[in-house]
Amino acid sequence: MNNYSLHSHNCWTDNQLQEATLHIKDGIITEVIKGPLIPTDLPLIEAGDAVLMPGVIDAHVHINEPGRTYWEGFETATKAAAFGGITTLVDMPLNSSPVVTNVAAMQQKLTASEGKRHVHCGFYGGIVGNEIVEKGIKELEALLAAGCLGVKAFLVHSGIDEFPNATLAALDKAMPVIKAAGVPLLVHCEWEMPIKGEDLLSQNPTSYPAYLASRPKTWENEAIKRVLQLCQKHHCPTHIVHLSAADALPLILEAKRAGLPVTVETCTHYLFFEAETIPDGSTLHKCAPPIRKHPNNLLLKNALRDGQIDFIASDHSPAPPDIKELETGNFQKAWGGIAGLQFLLPASWTALRDHMSLSQFIPLLTKHPADFLGLGEIKGKIAAGYHADLVVWDPAQAFEVTEGLIHHRHKASPFVGQTLSGMVTDTFVRGERVVGNGKGRQRNCGEIILKE
Ligand SMILES: [Zn+2]
């Protein structure tokens, strides 16, 4: 079906929820007719009172294929995304093998996704170590020319030895090149410094408080300070991924007010979970930076509501149960990463619904990440001429996450057993109804998104 109408009493268009009918042809929204439904000859999909909004855009996902497909692959990740109402995701340059630090590796990524893209996929490149200083910027320039949507760097060990943290000297050299390509530098902001009670975690490896203390807020603050200094020097679009420490918000806000091209995301798990209720040994909750305490997380929610944090991403970074150390509960050894792609929409809404209106919430998963990725002219909005990437969901309908619902490669996720509000029933990818009435249908219609 490539020519049809879609009607809802709660369609997100012109920045409000209102009754509207969309005409969709060849993957494009050709017309938005506000007000009551006017019957036509076109086939009609009736969404009733459910919310019809642009498909969710997840700008931070680790798919791990090729090379670590047994952690997560395109087939399972993009299927989970579709069931979660996500129509576009952007894949990180790690933890696949090879890591995407050159064009050949990026090509392998694109090839690996063939026949397995149930939603649209974009790709980031990466810079590591001091390579740019030592070997020059040719490889980076080629990656940018190949169409990566941004460049990722770590300031602390990434967890993957072949993706070492970039030096500040490397960032200093890379930023003008990244700026010239018109894409952002994305930085994992933790700066390792000596901490009090350094051996607390080795003595109590299953203690969540000990793990939390091992990656303090000061590490994030310090890293962000350094990155903002470089941003000020080069005016290169700079994006702080997965902000967890609310202490850094005043710094970021000051930089934004000064006109620096800074953006920041936080993740669902920093909003949904709180350190106080994470049981010892629950390595499902291990991620870096860590999930912090209630007062901190409340500040993150307020910052999202007040427009200080730009958008929410999943930072889906799963690993097999043995690598997550589920049996031992050892936080020191466990892989740091949370599996949550499929629940980005409902878990974020569940965490935020008492803090903001639906109208404040929707852009955080649609328009804002679309703008960040340079896709704001074609995605993230319901308007004539925009791509028909759409989701139908009921924000009030609660459901319990069971392993049976999960389409990720591995079912291990801290969201299992949680009750979420916001059932996704239909997902449309360029007009194709890949999920219909909660059931998977036509798939493999996701496009590769490259920077033009
Ligand atoms: Zn990540």
The per-residue pLDDT string of the chain (452 residues; one tens digit each, 9 = 90 and over) reads 789 999 999 999 999 999 999 999 999 999 999 999 998 999 999 999 999 999 999 999 999 999 999 999 999 999 999 999 999 999 999 999 999 999 999 999 999 999 999 999 999 999 999 999 999 999 999 999 999 999 999 999 999 999 999 999 999 999 999 999 999 999 999 999 999 877 899 999 999 999 999 999 999 999 999 999 999 999 999 999 999 999 999 999 999 999 999 999 999 999 999 999 999 999 999 999 999 999 999 999 999 999 999 999 999 999 999 999 999 999 999 999 999 999 999 999 999 999 999 999 999 999 999 999 999 999 999 999 999 999 999 999 999 999 999 999 999 999 999 999 999 999 999 999 999 999 998 779 999 999 98
Strands 238-240 and 28-34: unpaired
**Longest distance between any two alpha carbons in the chain, whole Å:** 71
For 13-71, give the secondary structure using H, E and C: ECCEEEEEEEEEECCEEEEEEECCCCCCCCCEEECCCCEEEECEEEEEECCCCCCCCCC
Angle at 51 between CA 46 and CA 54, to 5 degrees: 100
For residue 90, the CA-to-ligand 1 centroid distance in Å is: 11
Model confidence pLDDT, tens digit, residues 187-227: 999 999 999 877 899 999 999 999 999 999 999 999 999 99
For residue 221, the CA-to-ligand 1 centroid distance in Å is: 18
Cα–Cα distance measured from residue 351 to residue 274, given in angstroms and rounded to the nearest whole number: 11
For residue 125, the CA-to-ligand 1 centroid distance in Å is: 13
Enumerate residues with CB within 5 Å of ligand 1 (an ion): 315
For residue 302, the CA-to-ligand 1 centroid distance in Å is: 23
Angle at 8 between CA 90 and CA 16, to 5 degrees: 70
Model confidence pLDDT, tens digit, residues 59-118: 999 999 999 999 999 999 999 999 999 999 999 999 999 999 999 999 999 999 999 999
DSSP state of 307: T
- φ/ψ of 248, rounded to 5, equals -80, -10
For residue 127, the CA-to-ligand 1 centroid distance in Å is: 14
Measured CA distances, 167 to 126, 158, 201, 280 (Å): 13, 13, 27, 34
Please tell me the pTM assigned to this model. Answer: 0.98
Question: What domains are defined for the chain?
Answer: 55-378+397-419 (3.20.20.140)
Cα–Cα distance measured from residue 349 to residue 343, given in angstroms and rounded to the nearest whole number: 10
For residue 61, the CA-to-ligand 1 centroid distance in Å is: 6
For residue 159, the CA-to-ligand 1 centroid distance in Å is: 11
For residue 128, the CA-to-ligand 1 centroid distance in Å is: 15
